[in-house]
Structure 1
Amino acid sequence: MNTLLLRSAQENDTKDKYQESFRETDVDCVSVSPIGFEFINLETLYAHISHPEDHSGLIFSSPRTVQSVALCLKKHDENNEWDARLRDEWNKLPAFSVGTSTGGEVRKLGLHPVGEDSGNAENLCRIILEAVKSGSKPLLYPCGTMRREVIPKTLQKEELPVTYRVVSSAYMITFPSFRTRTTSSMNIKKRRGPRSEPWGTPMERERSFDIVCLIETCCFLFVR
């Protein structure tokens, strides 16, 4: 059976746990994301990154948020302050991250992830609360427009100061573009047998499609 996963593919060399689970049951699959992302507010983010002394650490909840730091450095670190001093200064502070993929991106920055094996945002919050006390300088939390509210609500409840900066914005991929990407993925995999089934995470199903686009996509996948 051939399956199309409506979700973002793994963003680094780590094996995709969803695809691996399907393949263990002899289901071939390919991931195609129905949503796209763009980085925003990078100059504002760099204004914070350039002043580690004003913060008590970093919080990264996805690989994309780490990538936003790398991109803001590329665009705005004209004097190479990151290599000269900022990396060392940030390494004196914890870089809290959830997930091995996020941790891998943190290492690419030259930082050391804390909590990457926590498994989820709830467990990461426990690690943060053990390490950072109320009254400390704010934690810097780059986040996206599709962030979950677990970290903000938990830390706010404990009166832990956090500086939030939205650094990525999600948008729905229009149907013609999505159809092109889907067809390309299907052709590359040279699929045979039953046609693909749309599937994805609850967040992507909820936020990525309006009903018309979803109907059109389903019709395309099953009729072609």
Structure 2
Amino acid sequence: MNVLLLKEPNDGDQGSDPYNQEMTNVGLRATLLPVLSFKFVSLNTLSEKVFQTEKYGGLIFTSPRAVEAVKMCLGDRREEWERIAKDKWNAKSVYVVGKATAALVRRLGLNPLGEDTGTAEVLSRAIIEREDTGILPLFFPCGSIKREVLPVALRENGVPLETLTVYQTAVHPDVVKNLTDYFAAQGPPASVAFFSPSGVNFCLQALRGLAGEQLARIKLAAIGPTTRDAMLAEGLSVSCTAKKPTPQHLAEAISKALK
């Protein structure tokens, strides 16, 4: 059965994407279509801050894009990062949400905490339990449409936080064309998986137009509770939600829903 995953393939390669691999493992044929595009911003400011370790009590990453932004900032200061800054950050707390973000953080040489938390809500509780209100602010590079759950929770519990928007999210310029081409070639898939509230907002109208009445027969899947809630808010019937935001858990959820 065909499954449509509304996300960009890792490294632009469908075959090596872990979500594709896990779908294959459970007997499904997956196609990944990007629905979001990203523009990095404030990189000069970010470049300064990642080397100002003495000003912060730790780091928070809730998306792979934020880690990519930091990687872009290292540039010709990579030696300084490896020799000095990396170890200074590792002496503090480096918090992450999700295994994909954690993997990228490790590539920077940092030791992530919280990769199994799965959501910003759960991570915020873990931070509040670990951190004292008297610490230096945690530095949180983030996207332009981040949810306010984590900042609000930390602020209400007295944990200092400094945020910096380092990327902006927009609809992918080819999302309608790519969806139209997919439906023309493959027809309606057995399941469609959404990976973010933005993805729901940006492609739902096109998906409804292409699927028509057959949308009711498509098993709609969510990568996590935040995305599920966005789908429900749009009146969609959510067939399954991954227990954790990982390729294996999503594949298991979709496979079960399709039986």
Q: TM-score under structure 1 normalisation? A: 0.78
RMSD between superposed Cα atoms in Å: 3.2
Q: Which residue of 2 aligns with 1:47?
A: 48
2:167 pairs with 1:168: yes
Q: Which residue of 1 aligns with 2:252?
A: none
Q: Secondary structure at the match of 1:58?
A: strand
Matches within 5 A, 1:26-175: 26-74=27-75, 77-78=76-77, 80-174=79-173
2:18 pairs with 1:15: yes
Q: Secondary structure at the match of 2:18?
A: coil
Structure 2 unaligned spans of 5+? 216-259
Q: Matches of 1:201 and 1:107 in 2, distance apart?
A: 23
Given the alignment, which residue of 191, 202, 205 partners 1:208?
A: 202
Q: 1:46 to 1:30 in 2, by over 3 A?
A: same
Question: CA deviation digits over 1:72-119, x for unaligned, max 9?
Answer: 112xx5484212311121111111111111111111001101111223
Q: Matches of 2:192 and 2:116 in 1, distance apart?
A: 30
Aligned residue identity for 2:38: F
Kept after mapping to 2: 8 A contact 1:66/1:105: yes
Give the count of matched residue pairs: 210
Percent sequence identity over matched residues?
A: 31
Q: Which residue of 1 aligns with 2:4?
A: 4
Kept after mapping to 1: 8 A contact 2:6/2:195: yes
Kept after mapping to 2: 8 A contact 1:14/1:101: no
Q: Matches of 2:115 and 2:168 in 1, distance apart?
A: 24
Q: Matches of 1:107 and 1:9 in 2, distance apart?
A: 20
Structure 1 unaligned spans of 5+? none
Q: 1:154 to 1:8 in 2, by over 3 A?
A: farther
Kept after mapping to 2: 8 A contact 1:19/1:30: no
Aligned residue identity for 2:80: E
Q: Matches of 2:42 and 2:115 in 1, distance apart?
A: 26
Kept after mapping to 1: 8 A contact 2:175/2:203: no
Aligned residue identity for 2:175: F
Aligned residue identity for 1:130: E
